[in-house]
Amino acid sequence: MNWSRTKTWLIVLFIGINLFLLFTIAKENIAQSTISEKMVADTVAILQRNSISVDPQIIPRKMPILSAMEVVNTMTSADETAAALLGGDATYDREDNCYLHGTAMVEVGGDSVRYTNTTPTHANAYQDEQSAIQFAKGFLTDAGYNMAKAEAQILRYSDHEAHILLTQKMDSYPLMDSQFSVRVTSKGVAGLEGCWFYMAEDQSGASGARGRVKEITSVLIDFMNDPNRSGSSSKITNITLGYTTGDKMTYHKSVSAMPSWRITTADGKEYYYDASSI
């Protein structure tokens, strides 16, 4: 018996078996992570029978694996936040519970901060949409907010005023309730409101159990049956997968950001649903 040749064939056989198993597992994972077109069509039909319309093309087909992530609040204290936004010189008004400097004011509550300036004095703050976005980012960067991963969206724009929404991103998914709504005039930032969380530098990745997100078709049925859904929310215009941190009324130094689905409707309302499959 030629043992060397037999051993070689056994090695080839085991490699073949392992490759077959890997292919089978990969095929099953792909099948589990993809929603069939029939399921999408059936879900759209059910929604239509309940007077809810949605373009099938905006329904995601791929369900990725996500987990909770620990995020840190940029705001460490109300005093420091106000001083940074007001240029280092803030006077606290105890009666109105706000910070003042010149024509600018800062209010802090829970995780959120609001800045208003009735008379900004910057000359020619922007010339187009892109420069308006850069001006808003620059203002927040100067105040200590890291805008490196910020995703910008122009909500309204004119030669005299631009409304910009800045959203924090973690990897390729938005942290949907870590946002700043910024109003930039030709003279500078006239107002902003929101909060800003970031992933800790020493965190290499996921901080919780990983799992396939809840299928969007199931979430759409939850939306249909949601007792808090407004009667005017009868047309779905956008579906977004990302993260949320929850309650903003209480201050959080750090918090777990959870996978979430956001459904936006034509009446301007947004609905959030837990995307955890467990």
Q: What is the pLDDT of residue 14?
A: 52
- Within the chain, residue ranges assigned H as helices are 3-33, 37-49, 78-85, 129-142, 216-224
* Gap between the Cα atoms of 10 and 18, Å rounded: 12
Q: Enter the tokens of residue 252.
A: 């959080």
Q: What is the pLDDT of residue 27?
A: 40
- Give the number of other Cβ atoms within 10 Å of residue 40's Cβ: 19
144: left (phi over 0), alpha (psi -120 to 50) or beta: left
* Gap between the Cα atoms of 36 and 87, Å rounded: 54
pLDDT (tens place) for every residue of the chain, 278 residues total: 555 666 566 555 555 554 443 343 334 344 347 899 999 999 999 999 999 999 999 999 999 988 889 999 999 999 999 999 998 888 999 999 999 999 999 999 999 999 999 999 888 899 999 999 999 999 999 999 999 999 999 999 999 999 999 999 987 899 999 999 999 999 999 999 999 999 876 544 445 556 789 999 999 999 999 999 999 999 999 999 999 998 889 999 999 999 999 999 999 999 999 998 65
Nearest to 275 by CA among 131, 174, 153, 168: 174
Helix axes 37-49, 216-224, angle to 10 degrees: 0
Q: Enter the tokens of residue 61.
A: 């087909």
pTM: 0.81
Q: CB within 8 A of 58, min separation 6: which ones?
A: 236, 237, 238, 239
Cβ(85)–Cβ(95) under 8 Å?
no
Q: What is the pLDDT of residue 19?
A: 43
